[in-house]
Structures are given as C-alpha cells and as structure tokens.
C-alpha cells in the first residue's frame, strides 16, 4: 500500500488525545480503538461496519486496523473541525481538555 499509508497507520497508533470529541462512524471494514482506563490500562474496542464511537476530549487513545488492513471511517464534528493530535507527553497531561476529562472520570 506504500510508505504514505504505512506512515498514516503509524501516526494513528501513536498514543494521543484531542482537545475535542472524536466521533467516528465506520462505513466499511473493521479496526480497533484502544483507550486508557481510569487505571491507565489499555481497553480495546472492536469496531465494525455500522458502529459509531464517541471518544471524549482529553482521553488518551490510539487506533489500528485488523488483519485485513482495511477500514473506511467518517469523522464527524459538532463545531469547527480540529484534527490536531497531541501525542502523550508530561506537558500534554496539563492541557485543559485532559484535566477536564480526568475530573469527570
């Protein structure tokens, strides 16, 4: 599938958070979102065609495909799209979205 595809897959698998909700609707294929529990353990969520997932702002997560290496997903937004992932790092733990998420968890 080429180096551009491989780079994109690696980017999604880096643990990160967003400062707004991540809403994904799976149009075809399947894959996995891994999210951090309140005990900082990974929880794997399998998604297949027709599934919808809403990850709250501030939750650390990552994404990968299954063995078929194919998924078609649509990202939905409530407001103006924000695409920037914040990769996990000590300074990211202090961003307002992360602090708000932790106060609700």
Look at residues 83, 63, 68, 84 and name the one whose alpha carbon lies nearest to residue 28.
Answer: 68
Q: Confidence band (pLDDT; 50, 70, 90) for 25?
A: very high
pLDDT value of position 8: 63
pLDDT value of position 79: 79
pLDDT value of position 13: 67
pLDDT value of position 3: 73
pLDDT reading at 38 higher than 90: no
């Amino acid at each position: 599938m080429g180096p551009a595809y491989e780079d994109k897959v690696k980017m999604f698998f880096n643990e990160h958070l967003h400062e707004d909700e991540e809403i994904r609707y799976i149009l075809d294929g399947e894959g996995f979102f891994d999210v951090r529990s309140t005990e900082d353990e990974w929880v794997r969520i399998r998604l297949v065609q027709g599934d919808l997932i809403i990850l709250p702002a501030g939750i650390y997560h990552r994404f990968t495909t299954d063995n078929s290496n194919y998924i078609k997903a649509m990202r939905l937004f409530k407001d103006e799209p924000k695409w920037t992932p914040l990769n996990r790092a000590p300074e990211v733990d202090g961003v307002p979205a992360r602090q708000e998420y932790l106060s609700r968890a």
